[in-house]
Chains A and B, each alone.
Chain A
Amino acid sequence: MVGQAQVLALVAALCAPVLGGLGAFWRPWVSIVGAFCAWVGSAVLFWGALVGAEAHLSLGRWVEVGTLVIDLDLRVDLLAATLLLGVHSVGLAAQLYAADFLRAQAARPLRLSSLLSASSALLFCADNYPLLLAGWALLGVGIHLRAGADYAERGTVGRIWVVLRSGDVLLLVGLVALCAQGQVDWAEGGGAAQWIGFCLLLAAVLRSAQFPWHFWLTRVRDPGVLLQAFCAGSAGIYLLLRTRGIWGSDAVLVYTAVAFGLVTALFGAAASLAARDVRPALAYAIASQLGLVLAAMALGDGRGAALHLAVIGVGMGLCLIGVAYLAQAEGAVWDPVVLGRWRRLLSLPFWAVVLGALTVAGIPPLAGAWSYGVLLAGLFTVGGPALWVGGCLLVCVAALCSLRLVFLIADAEEGEKPQAFRTPGGAAQTALIGLGGLAIFGGALGYPPGTGFLAAADGVVRWELLIGPGLAGLAGLLVAWLAYGDQPVDVDNEQKTSALRRMCEEGFYAEAAVRSVVGRPLLALARLARDADALLFELATVELGALGLRGAGWLLGRLQSGQVRFYAAVALLGVVVAFCYLAIT
């Protein structure tokens, strides 16, 4: 019975977004129905995985060439189910937000959101590498299109595509090598050459927006797109979790991943703290979280990575959707100091932001506290107290980033209600209440103690390790209150930007450097090749060839006349030369 329910849920999680997306061509709200069905399916899968029931489904054979046999098999274990639930929750919320916010223009974003949900489901449910690659690439295309649907962000679209496409190809290189060696299913998990692991790692680094390729994510400005970009970024972490058997035993690769993760975590936090616009502040905070998860997952056992990604998705969803309504109340004003003026008039979005920030900060008893706890407990197991303390410090910094925004919003002077004032509609309210419920009831993941995610491998639950990150989050709350709380901000003075802030806003010029070193020379080379192509091949080969032929024709024309005889003579000459040569040799 459980097995059948799991299979049905798997089909719903995979097919409902597709059908919803197709149905959106008829009526846009069908997409939301599809997303809701997918969410229900993923919730059932999560419940089943928690009680130890994995879902399997085989859709037949993809290719069979010699010994290379690749099936279209799907499997959902606890890791996949957790991420699936998180991504579908966030996806549903993003769709509700888009339907409410964009109204008449919501059809395209809703369809593309369905594509994102379906590709995420394919990625997380894939039982083998080619299917995983299909979900991965579709997810990349989906986020590219989702950003492209916003006509104001064309520059971002190009960046997203270049980075994600490069990651796709790196992943393809690694997976082709694995498949050629007979490792088709990720469950086989054998070792492989270092360069294969490096390809997979680099693909994951690109996809999960690690420094210096963070800009594809941090340049996104639309809150809904940013939320879905986070889901796409979490795919990079998921890939590394699945291929741990390939790269996890190689110290060079492990420390490379840790280096990427740590640098991104610290850089993202610094840039987030320096940002005045609430959108890049949250975008950098997302990048920082992805870096933290990468580093912790590479060093530790990675048990809590999926849970943490799902929880951060919920928390960031609350922050982004709430902030979007606060900012759009009077027009597109994204300064946290200014948008805080409407917090009493828009109490639901404001409290959603607070709840989301507290979740991301890991404040107990919200879900974030447990996810940080499980994530960092793995660090303690592998690296001892020093690593664990380092992880707690990063949690403190992450808490500071998210709670800074809350204090800036909360401390703004209240304004009077303007004439054009936009309040969230029923769909957006549902999204906020739903995500809030998940953040609160996610706190119940810790109960009963010692079960589910908190079940220790050795059966001994170390509560001090689980509670420690929560205390670090509280320390971050204290620091944020000391730094930003109860301090009215002088708007005029805040407009002055320091050199550090400018550098942070420019992403420490990493993007410009990449553009100068790679992008421009490559385009110049392409243009050069285009011009040379016309010159070299069209003129040199064809024209010179034609010139030669005309010359030969002029010579032969003395003897013959007429086109047919001319070509016959050329052919005859060729035959004679060839026979002469063969006769001589």
Chain B
Amino acid sequence: MDDHLLSLCIFLPLIGALVALLWGQVIWVHRLARGCAGIVALLGVYLVVRFDSNTQGAQFVERLDWIPELGVAYHLGLDGISLFPFALAALALFLALIVCRPARGEIAALLAVASAALGAFAARDLLLFYFCAEAAILPIFALLSRANGHPRAGLRMVFCGLAGGVPFLVAVGYLAVVHLRQTGQLSFDLADLQTLDLPPEVQSWLLLAFLLGLAVRVPLVPLHGWLPAVQRAASPAVMLVLTSAWLHLGAYGIMRFCPTLFPAAFGAWREPLAALATAAAVYGALLGLAQSRMRDWLVCATLSQMGWVVFGVCTLHVAGLQGSAVLLVGHGLVMSALLLLVGMLAERGVETPADFALGRAAPRLSGWLLLAALAAVGLPGTVLFAGEFLVLVAAFAVWGKFGLLILVAAVFHGVAGLRLVQRIVWGGEATGAAPGDMRWREAALIVPLLLCVLALGLKPGPVLDRVAGAVDQVLVAAGAVGERGAGE
């Protein structure tokens, strides 16, 4: 039964997207899409539960020759690193379809983007990964072009995605050619390409090409120019899917490909990259201090937290990589909750500090908003804290006290988040029309997410256990046995 689960997860939304485009009944299309997304989300949970943390290597593997002449295979599989982004993408699709507008085009595009993202997370073949990652661009463009008032947001994103995608594709092609030279066979399989013997200078160029393609998605400063416009243009439902299909895919790609395909170059360039990630984290948090809208602060928080994720990867330490994986999970859950809450606030006309005290007018909504904001700033007991703590321990073990400079971001980030929430929740004197409190249907979306955030913060073991094997494999492939040994 487990043999075709991944394909089912990938193609079910795609079929749903086609049906949505062809069927005229919007209400039924919406229901069907929700049904598809619900099944995929349940399958995602099933995959997480079924995943055997004692087994090394990929699980739920599917392999078919796709273009044998070129050595391209439809090779799918999940290991500890890809398992959680995959499940989060499925969950994000379900949440997005719950809160999205009942418009056929939007529903179809959301399903298509999620399908492509799921394919990219499960891909064990580099060309398949590239194909899936780039396949999301067109529906994303369609989604963003529908937004009123921001016609160029979609163009910017497409431009950035393609600009990064081209060097990535070139590097992938070069790797396949080298494999042909060294073994006599053309292959894009990740496991095959990890065994290549590449000179350090060539690795450096290829690493740069990969980083360009992936860092623009994360996004790392200074390649984040597309994010604010997109965030302003996209509805919360679209941002939910984009977060997993675009941002998490970039971070996952850096974690998965860069240390394993180019170990020598990554070892040589990880300090500058860590410095860039630190700068991104601090810069994002600093920008957050100057924001007055919740939605804008979320952009800054994302910039900052993605900096933390990349920073953890750069440590090449078992705690750092596991911390990054936990951070990715935490970011997915917390941002999903915050995006949903922003949508609820926007429905009530609250985005900036207004002339009513939300805490009094809507105590339940403000309470959950507060909890989500506290989780986003890494309060101990929440999942982001567990990830940040592990990353910090790794950074200190590798770079000493200079590794802790990234904590400056934690100060700015914490102050900015709580300051903004404080102004929204306790701002004003309750003179305007009071917004309604959270409804049960809304609570049913938010509460499970935040309970997961708390549960994984108190017991991150389920994530760490599943990630451990894949992290060990990355460290072995990266040749970072020293740090691994230090960690052990």
**What residues on A are CB-neighbors of B350 within 8 Å?**
none
Are A542 and B225 within 8 A (Cβ)? yes
Are B381 and A138 within 8 A (Cβ)? yes
Contact A538 to B228, CB < 8 A, known contacts A63-B464, A180-B393, A575-B170: yes
Contact with A along B389-418 (1 / 0, CB 8 A): 110110011000100100100111011001
Contact A522 to B392, CB < 8 A, known contacts A161-B418, A578-B170, A578-B174: no
**B20 on the A face (CB < 8 A):** no
B302 to chain A, nearest CB (A): 14
Identify which of B170, B318, B357, B458 gathers the most chain A CB atoms within 10 Å of its CB.
B170
B322 to chain A, nearest CB (A): 5
Are A66 and B319 within 8 A (Cβ)? yes
Number of interface residues of A (CB under 8 A): 65
**B283 on the A face (CB < 8 A):** yes
Are A177 and B289 within 8 A (Cβ)? no
Cβ-defined partner of A168 (8 Å) among B163, B225, B319, B414: B414
Cβ-defined partner of B393 (8 Å) among A68, A134, A166: A68
**What residues on B are CB-neighbors of A437 within 8 Å?**
none
A140 to chain B, nearest CB (A): 9
Cβ-defined partner of B390 (8 Å) among A60, A65, A574: A65
Q: Which partner residue on chain B sits nearest A176 by CB separation? A: B392
**B150 on the A face (CB < 8 A):** no
Query: Cα distance A64–B461 when bound, in Å?
Result: 8
Contact A176 to B461, CB < 8 A, known contacts A68-B319, A165-B414: no
**B460 on the A face (CB < 8 A):** yes
**What residues on B are CB-neighbors of A176 within 8 Å?**
389, 392-393, 396, 404
Stretch from A94-102, A258-266, A523-531 contacting the other chain: A523-531
Query: Cα distance A151–B425 when bound, in Å?
Result: 10
**A461 on the B face (CB < 8 A):** no
**A144 on the B face (CB < 8 A):** yes
Are A138 and B488 within 8 A (Cβ)? no
Contact A180 to B380, CB < 8 A, known contacts A65-B318, A169-B410, A529-B290: no
**What residues on B are CB-neighbors of A65 within 8 Å?**
318-319, 322, 390, 464, 468, 487
Are B415 and A529 within 8 A (Cβ)? no
B214-228 residues with Cβ-Cβ distance < 8 A to A are 221-226, 228
Cβ-defined partner of B159 (8 Å) among A134, A158, A162, A546: A546
Cβ-defined partner of A179 (8 Å) among B162, B226, B393, B487: B393
Are A63 and B380 within 8 A (Cβ)? no
- Grouping DSSP codes into helix (H, G, I), strand (E, B) and loop, the A interface class, with mixed when no group exceeds half, is helix
Are A169 and B411 within 8 A (Cβ)? yes
Contact A108 to B363, CB < 8 A, known contacts A67-B488, A145-B370: yes
B190 to chain A, nearest CB (A): 21
Query: Cα distance A525–B290 when bound, in Å?
Result: 9
A68 to chain B, nearest CB (A): 6
**A26 on the B face (CB < 8 A):** no
Query: Cα distance A542–B487 when bound, in Å?
Result: 41
A31 to chain B, nearest CB (A): 15
**What residues on B are CB-neighbors of A425 within 8 Å?**
none
Are A574 and B167 within 8 A (Cβ)? yes
Are A537 and B225 within 8 A (Cβ)? yes
B150 to chain A, nearest CB (A): 12
A125-184 residues with Cβ-Cβ distance < 8 A to B are 130, 133-134, 136-138, 141, 144-145, 148-149, 151, 154, 157-158, 161-162, 165-166, 168-169, 172-173, 176-177, 179-180
**B438 on the A face (CB < 8 A):** no
**What residues on A are CB-neighbors of B429 within 8 Å?**
151
Are A537 and B393 within 8 A (Cβ)? no
Q: Which partner residue on chain A sits nearest B320 by CB separation? A: A65
Number of interface residues of B (CB under 8 A): 72
**A571 on the B face (CB < 8 A):** yes
Are B487 and A67 within 8 A (Cβ)? yes
Q: Which partner residue on chain B sits nearest A170 by CB separation? A: B407
**What residues on A are CB-neighbors of B455 within 8 Å?**
none
**B166 on the A face (CB < 8 A):** yes
**A195 on the B face (CB < 8 A):** yes
Q: Which partner residue on chain A sits nearest B223 by CB separation? A: A541
Query: Cα distance A133–B427 when bound, in Å?
Result: 30
A202 to chain B, nearest CB (A): 13
**What residues on B are CB-neighbors of A578 within 8 Å?**
167, 170, 174
Contact A158 to B419, CB < 8 A, known contacts A68-B319, A180-B397, A529-B283: yes
**B145 on the A face (CB < 8 A):** no
Query: Cα distance A570–B488 when bound, in Å?
Result: 47
B287-301 residues with Cβ-Cβ distance < 8 A to A are 287, 289-291
**What residues on B are CB-neighbors of A173 within 8 Å?**
401, 404, 407
**What residues on B are CB-neighbors of A157 within 8 Å?**
422, 426
A345 to chain B, nearest CB (A): 34
Q: Which partner residue on chain B sits nearest A136 by CB separation? A: B380
Are B401 and A161 within 8 A (Cβ)? no
**What residues on B are CB-neighbors of A177 within 8 Å?**
396, 401, 404
**What residues on A are CB-neighbors of B407 within 8 Å?**
169, 172-173
Q: Which partner residue on chain A sits nearest B404 by CB separation? A: A173
Query: Cα distance A131–B93 when bound, in Å?
Result: 35
Are B401 and A526 within 8 A (Cβ)? no
**What residues on A are CB-neighbors of B415 within 8 Å?**
161-162, 165
**B459 on the A face (CB < 8 A):** yes
**What residues on B are CB-neighbors of A542 within 8 Å?**
156, 159-160, 225-226
Query: Cα distance A575–B177 when bound, in Å?
Result: 13
**What residues on B are CB-neighbors of A103 within 8 Å?**
none
A169 to chain B, nearest CB (A): 5
**A534 on the B face (CB < 8 A):** yes
**What residues on A are CB-neighbors of B404 within 8 Å?**
173, 176-177
**What residues on A are CB-neighbors of B319 within 8 Å?**
65-66, 68
Are A541 and B225 within 8 A (Cβ)? yes
**What residues on B are CB-neighbors of A60 within 8 Å?**
459
Q: Which partner residue on chain B sits nearest A153 by CB separation? A: B426
Contact A137 to B379, CB < 8 A, known contacts A63-B460, A154-B426: yes
Query: Cα distance A162–B418 when bound, in Å?
Result: 10
**A441 on the B face (CB < 8 A):** no
A196 to chain B, nearest CB (A): 9
B456-488 residues with Cβ-Cβ distance < 8 A to A are 458-461, 464, 468, 484, 486-488
Are A172 and B159 within 8 A (Cβ)? no
Are B174 and A582 within 8 A (Cβ)? yes
**A549 on the B face (CB < 8 A):** yes
Cβ-defined partner of A165 (8 Å) among B162, B221, B411, B468: B411
**What residues on B are CB-neighbors of A161 within 8 Å?**
414-415, 418-419, 422
A444-473 residues with Cβ-Cβ distance < 8 A to B are none
Q: Which partner residue on chain A sits nearest B408 by CB separation? A: A169
**What residues on B are CB-neighbors of A541 within 8 Å?**
222-223, 225
Contact with B along A57-80 (1 / 0, CB 8 A): 000111111111000100000000
**B35 on the A face (CB < 8 A):** no
Q: Which partner residue on chain B sits nearest A532 by CB separation? A: B287
Query: Cα distance A67–B390 when bound, in Å?
Result: 12
Contact A526 to B393, CB < 8 A, known contacts A148-B422, A165-B414, A541-B223: no
A556-581 residues with Cβ-Cβ distance < 8 A to B are 567, 570-571, 574-575, 578-579
> What are 20 A-B pairs at a CB distance below 8 A?
A64-B461, A65-B464, A65-B487, A66-B486, A108-B359, A138-B380, A157-B426, A158-B419, A161-B419, A169-B411, A173-B407, A176-B393, A177-B396, A522-B289, A523-B289, A525-B286, A526-B286, A526-B412, A546-B159, A582-B202
The 3 closest A-B pairs by CB, nearest first: A66-B487, A134-B380, A526-B289
Task: Taking A134-B385, A145-B370 as given, write out 20 further A-B residue pairs in contact, using a Cβ cutoff of 8 Å, ordered by the A residue number.
Answer: A62-B458, A62-B459, A64-B464, A65-B468, A133-B380, A154-B422, A154-B426, A165-B415, A169-B411, A173-B401, A173-B404, A177-B396, A526-B286, A529-B290, A534-B228, A536-B222, A542-B156, A546-B155, A567-B162, A575-B173
Q: List A residues at the B interface (Cβ < 8 Å).
A: 60-68, 72, 108, 130, 133-134, 136-138, 141, 144-145, 148-149, 151, 154, 157-158, 161-162, 165-166, 168-169, 172-173, 176-177, 179-180, 195, 522-523, 525-527, 529-530, 533-534, 536-538, 541-542, 545-546, 549, 567, 570-571, 574-575, 578-579, 582, 585
